[in-house]
Structure 1
Amino acid sequence: MQNLPLTRREFIRGAGGLGFLAFSGAAPAFLARSAMAQTPAPERDRSILVIIQLAGGNDGLNTVIPFTDDRYYNLRPTIGLKHGLLHLNDDLALHPACKELHQLYGEGKLSIVQNVGYPNPNRSHFRSTEIWETASDADSFKREGWLGRFFDNACAGSPEADDINADPTAIHVGDMIPQSYLSEQAHSLFGMKHRGRFDRGNDPADLAYEKLLQADHIEGNASYLQHTMMNTLVTERRVEKIISQYKALSSYPGSKLAQSLKRVAALIHADLETRVYFVSQSGYDTHANQLNNQERLLTELSAAMSAFQKDLKAHKKDEQVITMTFSEFGRRPAENGSGGTDHGTAAPLFVMGSRVNGGLLGESPELVTDVKKDLQYSTDFRSVYSSVLDKWLEADSSKILGEKFEHVPFV
């Protein structure tokens, strides 16, 4: 019971939650009335953004490899990649594990934004992730996420207060609501597991959940929670039915990431009005044994993204969706003594979709010769967000990010 949000303010601000139900961010329709009234709900054919978090800090130099630069191999005598490289141009190549992404690149459906970072980089996982998710400067702190501010500014249209069949504004896969989604206003958010049915066990909080739903004539905070939980339960049952009946038209691997994206594809195919989806792949903190670990992770990422894109295309939904990766930082240019790399700064990210301007974008990182030095970013990550907001989600990025950032032309 201690994780239950106890006030409306806590609930709006995302405190608490019951596991994968993640109703910590899912304010009930009746509470959202004042913030969301008199604005039409978004059309079902509006553009959709899918975010894939590469949690832990993906090594950019072994993802997009400067194979003609001797400094790369001098800095990485044992983990520098030489064989099976997937060439992008005369100087750069993708990791050999990214065969499907390389094919998408060749088809013009994958943009690679190079050397993305921010000024005064922070090498803490927690703080750098917070910076990316809130789109803040390194020396300022924001609680609301960049997508949460998008919801506040552009997604105020919501169904009528009593409509418990309303589609969530945003959905995430995983137990915890991403900080990217935190907002000032109330929005309907929903969280789910990457596989399996939506069954509950005998957890005390779950039992309390059931009792509260069944209670009669309750008032105050309990009444608020009852209404909230009912909305969550109805959404849960709708989502479960959609997923259980979905017929994928491409073959998804069995990885957690692939199964998460399969669920996202099912909900997109069902024409939910949901604008944003968030999934995560962990394990990129490759301080040791990087060659094996990153190869496994990029193999999963490449296959999962390709299956997702093929499925969207087969269902004629690919024109509505772009998929974007992010990681909290890259790795150091020089390898360490454990066959890995330590926390660094800038790295590339991927943007996939049938309507992206495929290709290499931004400046390649300038390698250093001093093993103690790091990469200097050339593209601010908020320029990527600005492009997504202005060009894809049709929002005013300056209101959301607080200032204008130069666009990256992937859309």
Structure 2
Amino acid sequence: MGRGRVVSRTRAGRALAVGAAALLFAAGCSSGPSSAPSAPPSSPPPASSAPAPTGSPAAGTVRVAGTLTEGLKSPWGLAELPGGDLLVSSRDERTVTRVDGHTGRQTPLGVVPGVEPGGEGGLLGLAVREGWVYAYLTGGSDNRIVRMRYGGGAGDRLGAPEPVLAGLPKGFVHDGGRIAFGPDGMLYAGTGETGRAGLAQDRDSLGGKILRMTPEGRPAPGNPFPDSLVYSYGHRNVQGLAWDADGRLWASEFGQNTWDELNLIRPGRNYGWPVVEGAAGRAGYTDPVAQWPTSEASPSGIAYARGAIWMAGLRGERLWRIPLSGAERSGEPVAFLEGEYGRLRTVQATAGGDRLWLVTNETDSRGTPGPGDDRILRLELG
């Protein structure tokens, strides 16, 4: 991300009802392999000792219903398994852990070989499909996507990584890392320009792009550029991917010093970096649907639920709700949980769409860890 840490805030490792605080919206919207541990370490307590609040959230709001699990180290990617359990990656520990979706019990699944953490790189995004766990990771010379077999039964461990896509640009910063399967069954990946801004406008480079590929890593049918993985370009550092009820793709993106962005992604479009940052109204470039000063967002993961995009903020230390409609955005963004749980890395809707999982990120070297960090929170939506 390339920004300093924020250390002055209120910590509240507790479950409580949180009311919406509407904020003024910014003007201008438009290495050798490592082996898995022979014995899993003991798990931390599966749930918060604080009592969960009673009652239901009001329409358009969010309520923290409790802590699913805690004691995670540098958590980054999150994926839901059939049945409701979760997989979470540790960027720096290079591990994948299964978290029981009811009790929060942690089961280590092993170290992913070939990961070399450093800066903003390491073991990043996760996705699950048909018995495979896909991972976006930083290796010795590149960023890459691999997949590992996982049966999901008691005592199972991840299989050996198989390459899906190698050769993604690697840097100390701006490594991208989010992957997700779209409603079309294709695999999408958000990449960064690794601090080399010119890569974002170079359609022959995979840096600063959103990529669309088959589950095996080949260019997906219908991509906008012939025989290319590139779906959209002109991105600085894509961090979140989500689809709404109409099948439209949304992406969150780190700005540099002025504007962070939420973009509605159209195939073949140029989103401007490094020529423009935020909304510019310039021919040939697609403006963001919403933008924020960098102190209020540093947007990471996003999810779609209850007619809105929910966006986790790192430096902004808050969860944003951006209401949607057929006209792209139907209302002003609203912030929740401001300063309550620190840096927020990943948000994901449950299969039923009535809850969110929210991953904090105080242990990534830029936060201020407190007791229990990091954790996965249960959020109920109104």
TM range (shorter): under 0.3
TM-score by length of 1: 0.26
Q: Greater CA radius of gyration, 1 or 2?
A: 1
More helix by proportion, 1 or 2?
A: 1
TM-score by length of 2: 0.28
Q: Which has the higher contact order (CA 8 A, sep 6+)?
A: 1
